[in-house]
Amino acid sequence: MSQPFEARYSPARSILFALLSAGFVVAGLWMIGVFGAVEGGRLPEWAVPIAGWAAIVFFGGFMVLHAIKAVTGGVAVRIDARGMLLRDYSDQLIPWDDVTALSTQNMMGTHMLMFEVVPAREDTFGAFRRLSIPLNRSMNGYGCALVVNNTDRSHAELLEAVADFAPPRLLG
């Protein structure tokens, strides 16, 4: 059997994502008028500040999250014979027995490992992840998604680890 797969948060990629998020925060600040009056545009006048605040809140959260990951680093994903440790979901290992389905998808150029877990395992996920499960299912048929583009490993390496360690019932 292969060595366990570990993907660590990449400080360089985390900083890049934080800077990209900061750009959207600045755009939101512009939309709410921090840099002066906003003239014209495609949105109705009342919608511009709402879109600005949405950008500030949404991308501001991502900016802080990625800045923290750039500093703290650590293991983001670990896959071995016991299961998957996915730090964006929980600090607890997800045993293979709790995984009910696996698939891969490419959505707008982002490679993802899609998966489902038993409801009891969903209850151990953070609040944001629990709330996003129904939305994910409505978009792609799976409640959970794993992306390693903020780590030092590739999607191909992730899939090799899944092929090495996941039980045959999930690989069919």
Q: Are residues 97 and 162 in the same domain?
A: yes
Indicate the residue among 16, 48, 72 that finishes a domain: 72
CA distances, 91 to each of 8, 21, 36, 76, 131 (Å): 14, 25, 44, 10, 18
Q: pLDDT, tens digit, for every residue of 67-77?
A: 988 888 889 99
Q: Are residues 90 and 167 in the same domain?
A: yes
Distance CA 96, CA 79 (A): 10
Full domain range(s) for residue 134: 80-171
Q: Are residues 125 and 162 in the same domain?
A: yes
Edge to edge, the sheet with strand 75-80 lists 5-8, 75-80, 83-86, 94-95
Q: Are residues 68 and 84 in the same domain?
A: no
Q: Are residues 114 and 48 in the same domain?
A: no
Report which secondary-structure segment, H or E, holds 13. helix 11-31
Whole-structure pTM value:
0.76
Q: Are residues 67 and 108 in the same domain?
A: no
pLDDT of residue 73: 81
Q: Are residues 84 and 154 in the same domain?
A: yes
Q: Are residues 66 and 96 in the same domain?
A: no
Q: Are residues 88 and 135 in the same domain?
A: yes
Domains: count for the chain: 2
Which has the closest alpha carbon to 33: 20, 22, 42, 46? Answer: 46
Distance CA 141, CA 115 (A): 9
pLDDT of residue 88: 87
Indicate the residue among 19, 47, 72 that finishes a domain: 72
pLDDT of residue 42: 83
